Chains A and B, each alone.
Chain A
Amino acid sequence: MLFNSFEFAFFLPIVFLLYWFIFNKSIKLQNIFLLVVGYVFYGWWDWRFLFLIAFSTLFDFTTGLLLDKTTNEQKRKWLFASSCIINIGLLAFFKYFNFFINNFIAAFDSIGYQVPPVTLKIILPVGISFYTFQSLSYTTDIFRRKMKPTTDLISFAAFISFFPQLVAGPIERAFHLLPQFYVKREFDQEQAVIGMRQILWGLFKKIVIADTLATYVDSIFAAYDVLPGSTLLLGAIYFSAQIYCDFSGYSSIAIGTARLFGFSLMQNFNYPYFSLSVPEFWRKWHISLTSWFRDYVYIPMGGSRGSLSRTIFNTLFVFTLSGFWHGANWTFIIWGLLNGLFMIPNLLSGNKKQEKVSTSISIKNLVAMVTTFSLITFTWIFFRSANVHQAFYYIQHLFSSSLIKYPVQHGMAITIPLIAILFLVEWLRKQEYQALQPKNIPAILRYGIYVTMIIICLAFFKQNQSFIYFQF
């Protein structure tokens, strides 16, 4: 079930009313209800994969209890290793099996050995990368003795299958979200209102901006071999805005929906395109994944505590791994690696600590912002391309003499104003937690804004427009 579907428009109010009016008598009832709702929501795609979530849940729940009980360090290490193997193994099988097999066959082929193709028709369970990481963070934190395991299976299962963030994050840490399942949620009107505004702004970003841009991005990337460089540049900029509105739109809806049920999820985007450097961008983009890799991969590898060369290696490794997490394709690996490379100047300048973020407008800041946006946009070309060949061809043609030609139209009359609206609204609101926060405005005007936004969303609505990050 997509957030931007009529099914969800019926599903959400029904679940909301049942949750607060029927199942609000006890924590247990609230959690059981959320668990059932999570499984219904997920099963809407493919009920067969519910067994996979149930298995992961039971396995990590049991591992967590055993890790806490066992005092023998060797045994604990084995238990933790088994959790990693099972979780990553499932992810690897569903997501990477064909990638490895194809590359293995290609490698043998290149040295003259013919290996018969053995690719399997594997369907990628939606959201597997997200809930696997969430579940893995639980056993890791227990292994590190950062938290105690839960003995309440229902709460744990409800935490893993919490429907607002089940399929595309934010990837929550157990120590932040799980304790929220231990207390009875009481309705908080202020939080619910903020949640509704977040949902509306998220839908606006997704339906109005991302989906409109998607049409042009698709046509530009489909005809990349015949279009002039200026249009390819336009396509890359469009995709930068599209992926931001698509994914941050999803996150806003997820966080807003969670608020309606009395939960607080972590912020996933913090106006990343106003960043003055690539490291700042990565502190503000997909925060839940970046911080996951930082806490569970980068820091255990030594982080920035060792020599400069070691820090650079760690950075490149983590970014490449992050690229691979996105998908079993060399385009994602190169995308990750490029982002890692763009972090190096910062590391070389000795600026390992988080620099202060400047919010003032100055020529220097503007140049830094445009430079950061350009570098990130450049990397998105790899992310969007179907294969590495296409990405290189796209870049080669982009930086050709046709770059100075007037671009082939591709909806500029609608896309440019939409992108301008996005950046203007977000710039004006960048000090706030979220963009849509009409303050000190008379109620009638506020309602006018909401109704207008809903109607614009409906006017731009297209059926079956999935979210980009669902494929990961």
Chain B
Amino acid sequence: MSSFLLNISKLILLTTLVLVLSLFFIPDNITKYSILAALPDKHELLKKIHKNKIILLGGSNVSFGINSAKLKEAFHKPVVNMGVHAGLGLKFIVNDSKPYIQKGDTIILMPEYEHFYTENFYGEMELVSMVFDIEPASKKFINIEHWQHLLKYMPTYSAKKLKNYIPSLLHKKEPAVDIYHRYSFNEYGDAYIHWNMPNQSYQPAPVNNGNEKINPEVISFLKKFKSYVHEQGAELIIFPPVIDHTSFIHQKLIITKIAEELKNNDIAFATEPETYKYDSALFFNSYYHLNKTGVEKRTTQLMNDLTLLKSE
């Protein structure tokens, strides 16, 4: 038995060593052109504008779902679409935006529903990629508890880096700009490359029986964020994300639960989630990613909702 355990320990140690070396020393040649690498570019956009701006926050439902130019035109305010990927986690997405919030700003948060009842709130492999390879300075937003949630993604991420590294040595050309490329965003931060592309097939969200509990940490986190925004002299408005019709039906129980929980905690969605349930013909390649027609519809609806809110 002891020699068996010794051999297994050797194997684990050797594997861990390779993974640690990969995590810290192997350059990630793939993610530096990925959609995630757009976040530092978006920070640059934020740095240029000091006050009275509109910041759009959320995952890819935001980056793939808004025409910021129209918003800018309607409200005569600069707009930055900070949406990148829901896998960064709501906690990181929000914390990352905090240093840029200033007096007179309007923060429009449109979190994906998964942030409220899955580990998605803390981020997934995309966040590991962000803090190790894309923007190491963003480690400051991750506390010990947060690291605990990310730990399980690290071995997989290290191994994926190795998997990507070997072919990248042979093929050094920069990848062409596609829908998930760093440069697939316009000057406002909207993903736009797909606007002229035909829709692709996608799976709707799975059926949810509504049994999951809403993570209380998300609620208290959002409440604190609301207070923080107010302290800065800015305004926070939380909108439901846009979602395709079938997915909405599949997720209706949990969506209702989320909306009620937010309402009970004085951080309610600005409109009923059902109002952002769109026909699947308006979606590009995921139940959260709109095509051009969908983007226009949602932007117009968002403008109307915002105008209505301001007039109240």
Contact = CB atoms under 8 A, between A and B. Distances in A.
A447 B14 contact: yes
Interface stretch (A55-63, A139-147, A289-297, A449-457): A449-457
Contact of A456 (B1, B4, B14, B159): B159
Given A447-B11, A451-B11, A189 B152 contact: no
B149 to A, nearest CB: 12
Contacts of B159: 455-459, 461
Contacts of A455: 15, 18-19, 159, 162
A196 interface: yes
Contacts of B152: 6
A451 B203 contact: no
A115 interface: no
Interface in A152-191: 187, 189
Nearest to A123: B209
A222 B8 contact: no
A222 B158 contact: no
A254 B15 CA distance: 23
Contact of A193 (B4, B14, B19, B124): B4
Contact of B160 (A192, A222, A459): A459
Contacts of B162: 455, 459
B232 to A, nearest CB: 36
B163 interface: yes
B3 interface: yes
B201 interface: yes
Interface string B2-39: 01100110110011001100000000000000000000
Contact of A219 (B3, B7, B156, B201): B201
Interface residues of A, number: 23
A192 B3 CA distance: 11
Nearest to B151: A6
B210 interface: no
B4 A223 contact: no
B257 to A, nearest CB: 18
Nearest to A21: B1
B155 interface: yes
A463 B124 CA distance: 10
Residue from the set A6, A196, A455 with the largest chain B CB neighbour count within 10 Å: A455
A211 to B, nearest CB: 13
A173 B158 CA distance: 43
B156 A461 contact: yes
A18 B3 CA distance: 17
Interface in A434-472: 447, 450-451, 454-461, 463
A451 B7 CA distance: 12
Contacts of B7: 193
A1 to B, nearest CB: 14
B120 to A, nearest CB: 11
A222 B203 CA distance: 9
Interface string B148-169: 0000100110111011000000
Given A193-B4, A451-B11, A456 B201 contact: no
> On chain B, which size bracket covers the interface?
20 to 34
B132 to A, nearest CB: 15
Given A458-B158, A459-B160, A223 B201 contact: yes
Query: What secondary structure prevails in chain A residues at the interface with B?
Result: helix
A120 to B, nearest CB: 14
Contacts of B163: 456, 459-460
Contact of A459 (B11, B14, B156): B156
A20 interface: yes
A247 to B, nearest CB: 22
Contact of B4 (A6, A192, A222, A459): A192
B175 to A, nearest CB: 15
Nearest to A5: B152
A20 B2 CA distance: 11
A189 B124 CA distance: 38
A218 B201 CA distance: 11
Nearest to B161: A459
A225 to B, nearest CB: 10
Nearest to A17: B5
A456 B158 CA distance: 11
Contact of B1 (A187, A223, A457): A187
A451 B14 contact: yes
Given A6-B152, A456-B163, A459-B156, A222 B201 contact: yes
Contact of B18 (A193, A218, A223, A451): A451
B1 A454 contact: no
A451 B155 CA distance: 13
A20 B124 CA distance: 36
A459 B156 CA distance: 6
Given A458-B155, A459-B156, A451 B15 contact: yes
Contacts of A192: 4
A458 B156 contact: yes
Contacts of A454: 11, 15
Contacts of B155: 458
A455 B20 CA distance: 12
Interface string A318-350: 000000000000000000000000000000000
A223 B203 CA distance: 11
Contacts of B10: 447
Contacts of A460: 163
A223 B124 CA distance: 29
Contacts of A447: 10-11, 14
A181 to B, nearest CB: 21
Interface string B163-202: 1000000000000000000000000000000000000010
Contacts of B18: 451, 455
Nearest to A457: B159
Contacts of A458: 19, 155-156, 158-160
Contacts of B156: 458-459, 461
Interface string A190-202: 0011001000000
Contacts of B11: 447, 450-451, 454
Contacts of A196: 8
A170 B47 CA distance: 61
Interface of B: 1, 3-4, 7-8, 10-11, 14-15, 18-19, 124, 152, 155-156, 158-160, 162-163, 201, 203
21 contacts: A187-B1, A189-B3, A192-B4, A193-B4, A193-B7, A196-B8, A222-B201, A223-B201, A447-B10, A447-B11, A451-B11, A451-B14, A455-B18, A455-B19, A455-B162, A457-B159, A458-B156, A458-B159, A458-B160, A459-B159, A461-B159
Given A451-B18, A461-B156, 14 more contacts: A6-B152, A189-B1, A193-B4, A193-B7, A196-B8, A218-B203, A451-B14, A451-B15, A455-B15, A455-B18, A455-B19, A456-B163, A459-B156, A459-B160
The 3 closest A-B pairs by CB, nearest first: A458-B159, A459-B163, A459-B159
